[in-house]
Amino acid sequence: MNVRIATILMLLLLTAALSGRKAIAMDLVVIQGAAGEPRYQEQFSEWADGWSDISSHLQARLHRIHQGSPSRSAREECFETLGKFEGDGNTPLWLVLIGHGTFAQDQAKFNLVGPDISAGELSERLQEFRRPTLVVNGASASGPFIDRLSGINRIVITATKSGHEQNFARFGGDLVSMASHPASDLDHDGSVSLLEAFLAASKATAQHYRDQGLLATEHPMIDDNGDRTGTTADFFRGIRVARRSSDAPAVDGNLAHQWTIRHISREPELKPESKQRRDRLESQLEQLRRQKKTISEDDYYAQIEPLLVEIAMLYESEVHRRDPSVRDRSIQAVSE
C-alpha cells in the first residue's frame, strides 16, 4: 500500500473514532409469546424489558404485545399493530419475537397466548412493506422464518438455522445482553451495529453450550441480502465474511452493519444526510473488497482511494463543525 493510501486510512480511522453511527427514528414492536412455564415467563419478560431499554436509547416508538385482551387475541393485536406501519415510509420498523417456536408439517410457527403466527402468515403481512425492516425471531425452530421473510431492505435474524432445532433457545437473551456490551463494538467506532450484536450474541450462545459440555441445539442466522439463505457467525472474521457457502454466494452483513442497535460512546454523530452518504460509500467499499482478487493492485487502490477520501472528509466536516481545531490538526497530518 502506498504512502498516500496509508495517510488516507489514518485520517479515516482518526475521524471515524470521533463519530458513531447515528440512530434514526424508528418503530419497535416487541411480541412476547406464550411462556409455557413460570421460569420462561420471567426470562422472556426480562428480555422484553431489555428491548424496552434499547428503544429508549434509540428514541424509538415502542409497542409491546403479550397476552392480548378479552376482545382480541395476541395474534390479532399483532396484525393490527403491523397494519399501522404498511406503506413506503422511510422510518425503520423493528419486529422482535420473544418466546418459543414449533416446526411441523413443513410449517414454522411462533407460539402466542392463543392462536400462533406462522412464518407464512407473517410474510404475507409484511409483503407490502417497503420501509426498512428488521425481524428478530429468537425462538426455537425459527430458522425457516429466513426463507419466508427474506427480502430487499430487510434484515432477518433467527436463533436457529432450521426448524428441527426445537429445544429452548437462549440466543434472544444473549442478543439483548450483548447489544450494550463494549466488547461487541468490533470495529471500535463507538457504537454497536446489528451485525456486531449478532456476532457477539452468537459467540456467547455457543460458549454457553461449550461451558455446559452440551451439544449446541441452536445456530443463529442472519440474512440481509434478500437471498433467503442466511449466514451463521462462523463465516465471519471480525465484521467481514471470511468464507462463503456454496449455497449462498452472496454476502450477508453489509446492511446489518449500517444499522445501530446501541451507542456506547458520547462522541459526535454524523448528520442523517451524511450518514446516508457514508452508508452508500461503505457499500461501494465492500463491493471493491470482494473484487480485490480479480483486479490489479494498482486498479484496486485507484478505485478505493476516492471512496476513502470522501468518507474521511464526511467525518472531518462533521467534527470540524463541532470543533474547528480538529480540521486544522487533520490537514496538518495529511500535509506532513
Give the chain's domains with CATH numbers: 3-18+270-335 (no CATH), 27-263 (3.40.50.1460)
Q: Are 128 and 89 in contact (CB under 8 A)?
A: no
Q: Count the neighbouring beta carbons within 10 Å of the beta carbon of residue 262.
A: 23
In angstroms, the CA 96 to CA 98 distance is: 6
Lowest mean pLDDT among 57-71, 300-314, 315-329: 315-329
Whose CA is closest to 282, among 261, 323, 310? 310
In angstroms, the CA 246 to CA 226 distance is: 16
Q: Are 74 and 31 in contact (CB under 8 A)?
A: yes
Is residue 155 over pLDDT 50?
yes
Please tell me which residue, 121 or 4, carries the higher pLDDT value.
121
Over residues 254-277, the mean pLDDT reads 80
In angstroms, the CA 71 to CA 73 distance is: 7
Lowest mean pLDDT among 52-61, 203-212, 264-273: 264-273
The pTM of the full predicted model, rounded to 2 decimals, is 0.76
Highest-confidence segment of 6-20, 56-70, 238-252: 56-70
Q: Count the neighbouring beta carbons within 10 Å of the beta carbon of residue 164.
A: 12
Highest-confidence segment of 18-22, 132-136, 291-295: 132-136
Is residue 335 over pLDDT 70?
no
Whose CA is closest to 163, among 115, 111, 105, 122? 105
Please tell me which residue, 147 or 9, carries the higher pLDDT value.
147
DSSP 258: G
Q: What is the pLDDT of residue 272?
A: 75
Whose CA is closest to 134, among 250, 233, 222? 222
Q: Classify strands 93-98 and 133-137 as parallel, antiparallel or unpaired.
A: parallel
Q: Are 98 and 31 in contact (CB under 8 A)?
A: yes
Task: Give me the helices (H) in 191-252, please.
Answer: 194-211
Confidence of residue 248 (pLDDT cuts 50, 70, 90): low
Over residues 35-58, the mean pLDDT reads 94
Q: What is the pLDDT of residue 241?
A: 84
Where on the phi/psi map is residue 231: left (φ > 0), alpha (ψ -120 to 50), or beta? beta
Q: Determine whether 325 is exposed, middle or buried from the number of CB atoms within 10 Å of its CB (0-12, 13-18, 19+).
A: exposed
Q: Determine whether 332 is exposed, middle or buried from the number of CB atoms within 10 Å of its CB (0-12, 13-18, 19+).
A: exposed
- Computed over every residue of the chain, the mean pLDDT equals 85
Over residues 89-110, the mean pLDDT reads 95
Q: What is the pLDDT of residue 63?
A: 94
Q: What is the pLDDT of residue 330?
A: 41
In angstroms, the CA 54 to CA 197 distance is: 12
Is residue 336 over pLDDT 50?
no
Percentage, residues of the chain above pLDDT 70: 83
Lowest mean pLDDT among 121-130, 155-164, 265-274: 265-274
| Rg of the chain in Å (alpha carbons) | 21
Over residues 86-112, the mean pLDDT reads 93
Is residue 322 over pLDDT 70?
no
Terminal-to-terminal C-alpha distance of the chain: 18
Beta bridge partners of 193: 260
> Which three three-digit cell numbers place residue 279?
452508508
